[in-house]
Structure formats: structure tokens, C-alpha cells
Amino acid sequence: MNLTIQKCRAAAVGLAMLMTAGLSASAFAQAAANADEPVRSRAESGATKPCVECHEGFYGIAKTKHGVKGDARTPAATGKSITGDPADAMCGTCHGDLTEHNKRPRTAGLVPVTFGKKSPAEPQNAACLNCHESGARIHWQGSKHEQTKQSCASCHRVHASKDPVMVSETQASVCFECHQDRRAELQRMSTHPTKTGFFACSSCHAPHGSTTRASLQKNSVNETCYTCHAQLRGPFLWEHRSAQDDCTNCHNPHGTNNAPMLKTRMPYLCQQCHQDSLNHSNTAFGRQSLPGGATAGNAQRVVGNSCVNCHMKVHGSNHPSGARLQR
């Protein structure tokens, strides 16, 4: 529709020029047919060409939240068109003043803000932070991504109808572009459920930064885990101090080859902290060295040399006699 209006306007300009030059009606028809063509003469005459004629693919942005005219905060609502085509109004809000570029589109370097890896991050991010500094971005300054000069556009695709980083099924693939080691961990045997789309990196991480180590969503590792594993929060009658301290003492939440996401095999996992204990030896993990000696019951319990065969409530116990985390 806008394009039609524009063509009419161009035709009207052409008509005025033709009339002063006293050309024939057929010459006018020819000029009207060429209305989209000669960029240079148009620029010379001071007329402008709607951006859509050269950048059609980028108009999908009108269908995203940035294109909502009814929302007074969006680029669509606040921008002003320099071409006369209302659909172009929003472009300058992020890309800067495009008057010169529109006059001489084929001259490089006339677009004030370009996005992507080849451009410096600061001006790109400033354009976005104009509107997005508050909310989840309050810890952006000083975050690892800011310090290492990542741009908003290194994760976000604002021209796409669906920004992949905002969709939990596709988010991880965006992160993997830079975090290859995480991709490897997520392919291990024991991981969080990745296939369902339930899992997103941002279930645990605040991508724009936070005050916690590794930019976690909550104030600590454990608080982050409790958002879904609330039953492990306690308080317990018998606590296991290491579990209350930090779940990553034993688990790697990205994935391991020891189910369930244990950093090390049994019994070594436990023996990192528990050397020979008062009541039974850990190093020589044999039936004899266990309380009760080589009884039939104990034979069951040394399967896999797993300490949790007996100390089942490794995260803490509420049983009156669960002192050793055994029930």
C-alpha cells in the first residue's frame, strides 16, 4: 500500500518535471514506469526513495514487538520517516540518521549504526540500551558479556519474526556459537532434559548479567537449583553440609557421564571430602571395612562401591534416626 502511494508521489513529481520540460504523454508513461529505477538522479533532485525498495527483507520487523504502533514506547511509534513512507519511520531509531545514506546508498560508511560482529559493540548497544537499560539489563554493565564486548545483536535477531534466542528450543544453539564446551557437555550421558524445550540456558543463567557467580538467575547456585528442585531446599533435621552449601560440589548441571550428573564416580565423589571416617574406612572399600562386616546385607550395599547404597539421603534427611543420612 505504502509502495503504491510512493509510486503515485514519484509519478506526480515526474509529471511536474515532464510538464516543465514539455515532453509528450508517452515519454511521461516511460518515466513513470522507470520511477523505481535511477537512484542517482533521484538523489540529485533531492527526492528520496523508500528503504523497502532496496531492503525489503528487513520489513518483517514491523510484525515484531518493535513494530507495534499502538505501544508508545516502540521504535515504530517514536521514529520519524525521512523518506515520506511511514513504514520507514522506525529504521532510524536503531540505525541512526540515514538521510545521507538514503541520498547515496552505494557509498559505504554512511549508515551511522550497523550491527553485527564487524562493527564495534558500544554504539550498537547504546542504540538498544536507550530503551532497554532498566529491567533485566540493570546488571549488563560489568557483566562478562559486556566486558568482553559482546553486542546485543550477537544473541538477538530483531529483524526475525521469531528471535531464536527468545525461544527455549533454539536458544542453546545461539549460545553454542561461542560456548562450544557447553555443547559438548550437553551431549553427555546424563544431562538436564534438553530435547523437550523445557530446558533453556536462561532457566539458570541471566544472559544480561547478575550479581552471582556465572551470572546465575538467583543469588546463589543453590537458590537457582531450588527454583525447580524445591524439595531439596530443606530445612532438614539432618543436613548434609556440602549439599546445603553448593550443589556443584557433586553435580555439573550441564551434564556428565555419571548419572545423575555427578562430577565423579562413586565412591571417589564422596572420598574427595571424606577420607577414612571414624567408623568405617573409605579407602579400602570392602565389605570387611564396613560397619557390620561381611554380612549378606552389606554385600548388597557395596554394589558399585556406592556410598549412597547406605547413605541414601545424601541431600539431607528428615527421619528421626537419619543422623548418618541413611534414611
Residues 239-298 that bind ligand HEC (CB under 6 A): 240-243, 247-251, 253-254, 259-262, 267, 269-274, 277-280, 282, 285, 290-291, 298
Among 9, 139, 324, 327, binds ligand HEC (CB under 6 A): 324
Half-sphere exposure at residue 151, Cβ-oriented, CA atoms within 13 angstroms: 21
Q: Give the nearer residue to ligand HEC in terms of CB position, either 30 or 106.
A: 106
Burial class (CB in 10 A: 0-12, 13-18, 19+), 247: buried
Give me 68's grid cell.
507495534
> Is 144 one of the binding residues for ligand HEC (CB under 6 A)?
yes
> What is the Cα–Cα distance from 143 to 138, expressed in whole angstroms?
10
Could you say which residues in the range 22-81 bind ligand HEC, by CB under 6 A? 39, 49, 51, 53-55, 58-59, 61, 65-66, 71, 73-75, 78
> What is the Cα–Cα distance from 2 to 56, expressed in whole angstroms?
13
Give me 309's grid cell.
547404597
Among 10, 18, 31, 128, binds ligand HEC (CB under 6 A): 128
> Is 175 one of the binding residues for ligand HEC (CB under 6 A)?
yes
> What is the Cα–Cα distance from 313 to 66, expressed in whole angstroms?
51
Which listed range, 3-11, 13-21, 22-30, 312-320, lies at the site for ligand HEC (CB under 6 A)? 312-320
What's the one-letter identity of residue 13?
V
Q: Give the nearer residue to ligand HEC in terms of CB position, either 2 or 23.
A: 2
Least distance CB 12 / ligand HEC (angstroms): 19
Q: Give the nearer residue to ligand HEC in terms of CB position, either 18 or 254.
A: 254
> What is the Cα–Cα distance from 6 to 88, expressed in whole angstroms?
12
> Is 317 one of the binding residues for ligand HEC (CB under 6 A)?
no
> Is 221 one of the binding residues for ligand HEC (CB under 6 A)?
yes
Among 163, 188, 220, 289, binds ligand HEC (CB under 6 A): 163
How many residues line the site for ligand HEC (CB under 6 A)? Answer: 137
> Is 307 one of the binding residues for ligand HEC (CB under 6 A)?
yes
> Is 189 one of the binding residues for ligand HEC (CB under 6 A)?
no
> Is 121 one of the binding residues for ligand HEC (CB under 6 A)?
no
> What is the Cα–Cα distance from 43 to 27, expressed in whole angstroms?
21
The CA dihedral of 41, 43, 46, 50, to the nearest 10 degrees, is: 120
Q: Give the nearer residue to ligand HEC in terms of CB position, either 30 or 141.
A: 141
CA geometry: angle 78, 79, 83, nearest 5 deg: 155
> What is the Cα–Cα distance from 45 to 230, expressed in whole angstroms?
69
- By residue count, the chain amounts to 327
> What is the Cα–Cα distance from 327 to 323, expressed in whole angstroms?
8
> Is 180 one of the binding residues for ligand HEC (CB under 6 A)?
no
Half-sphere exposure at residue 171, Cβ-oriented, CA atoms within 13 angstroms: 19
Least distance CB 26 / ligand HEC (angstroms): 27
Least distance CB 134 / ligand HEC (angstroms): 9
Least distance CB 22 / ligand HEC (angstroms): 29
Taking phi first (over 0 means left), then psi (-120 to 50 degrees means alpha), and beta for anything else, what does residue 316 get?
Answer: left
> What is the Cα–Cα distance from 274 to 159, expressed in whole angstroms?
55
> Is 315 one of the binding residues for ligand HEC (CB under 6 A)?
yes
